[in-house]
Amino acid sequence: MMTPDLGEPPAAPPAALRLRIDRKALAANWRALDAMSAGTVHTGAAVKADGYGLGAAQVVPTLEAAGCRDWFVAHWGEVAALLPLVPAASIAVLHGPMNTADVAYARATGVRPVLNSRQQIALWLEAGGGPCDVMVDTGINRLGLELADLGDAMIARLDIDCCHSHLACADEDSPRNAMQLQRFALARQQLTARRYSLANSAGIALGAAFHADLTRPGLALYGGLARPEMAGKIAQVARPEAAVIQVRTLSAGDAVGYNGTFTAAGAMRIGVVALGYADGYLRCWSGQGAFHWRGRRLPVLGRISMDMTAVDLSAVPDVCEGDWLALDYDLASAAKISGLAPYELLTLLGQRFARE
């Protein structure tokens, strides 16, 4: 018996999770950081991890319209999403080439590899070279050439667009910041590049001495306060919302969720929303988090499940199934409550959120 041709499957119905992205706030954050980057300094954007979890396809056009012209991703697999949006030569891949396939991809697309070791330099030169960036380690001890490597004859053969380094403690008032700045100055003396870049989001707030030619903000673009000096200048960008998929009435003694960590003291109304730890709303929010509905705070009840969270609806008798609740997700306060870093709060948000 032949299987009937059913044609194309229908479009999926709307998601029960949505991530509202405030494009005006995103653009304003970039402009604020650009204003803090003094003089002729250019301000780029780290858009790795799919635009810090917000969706590169959403954030890149907004930042490009605001004036951004330099883009940074970590993995080669993140390049494809950017190629239809910005010139390939404006994209730099921070992890650099690990093998000849990476090198071939860089040369075919025109994106710039950030070379982090003599091995990566050799791979690049053996393939014919071309414009590239170089990372120098000045004290974070992650990726990057050692200062002692900078005299290597191979480096003189490179066509270096930008020489980078990365600050380890820019979000703190640490003596390591001055140490790294001094080491970066030594690197600049030994390594010829068209541009030099040291400051991440927090580094921008350390002042003009750290700005060099190009800054690379990430977290602050998306609403994170990387340093106290940014308070009042950086606005919230991401606002997660979840739909109520069921409303229930509990009686005294009814327990909610796995292991019954919340027990109703009396009759109460609760809602179950389509959000759980598979979406990045981790179990650390159990009994700690909250949602909002028309100015009313609705506490999370019991333990967060994989796909569901229970919410106290006692104060909002008009909330019904299908209504949307806004997650309390201001990055600064959410970090204090959950113990998660603002970076984690953003990049954990899963693919089941419709980005709007």
57-107 per-position pLDDT tens digit: 999 999 999 999 999 999 999 999 999 999 999 999 999 999 999 999 999
**pLDDT-based confidence at 356, cuts 50/70/90?**
confident
Q: Where are the domains of the chain?
A: 22-226, 238-329
Choosing among 3.30.565.10, 3.20.20.10, 3.40.605.10, 3.40.50.970, the CATH entry for 22-226 is 3.20.20.10
Comparing CA positions, the residue from 157, 100, 166, 95 lying closest to residue 130 is 157
Task: Show the beta-strand stretches assigned E in the chain.
Answer: 17-21, 42-43, 45-46, 71-73, 91-93, 112-115, 131-135, 159-164, 195-197, 214-215, 238-250, 255-256, 262-263, 268-273, 290-293, 296-301, 309-312, 324-327, 354-355
What predicted TM-score, i.e. pTM, was given to this entire model?
0.94
- Asked if residue 74 lies in contact with residue 56, where contact means CB atoms within 8 angstroms, the answer is no
User: Is it the case that residue 1 has pLDDT exceeding 60?
Assistant: no
Instruction: Judge whether 336 counts as a catalytic residue.
Output: no
Annotated catalytic residue: which of 105, 258, 336, 343?
258
Task: Find where tokens 């693919």 sit.
Answer: 351
Higher pLDDT, 136 or 3: 136
- pLDDT 10s digits, 143-181: 999 999 999 999 999 999 999 999 999 999 999 999 999
> Encoding tokens for residue 306?
């994989």
- Per residue in 266-287, pLDDT (tens digit) is 999 999 999 999 999 999 999 9
pLDDT at 303 over 90: yes
Amino acid letter for position 294: R
Provide the mean pLDDT of the chain: 96
Please provide the CATH number assigned to the domain covering 238-329: 2.40.37.10
**pLDDT for residue 2:** 58
The reported pLDDT for the residue numbered 5 is 59
The catalytic residue among 48, 277, 281, 329 is 48
Residues 206-253: tens digit of each pLDDT: 999 999 999 999 999 999 999 999 999 999 999 999 999 999 999 999
For 14-28, what is each residue's pLDDT tens digit? 999 999 999 999 999
pLDDT of 3 strictly over 70: no
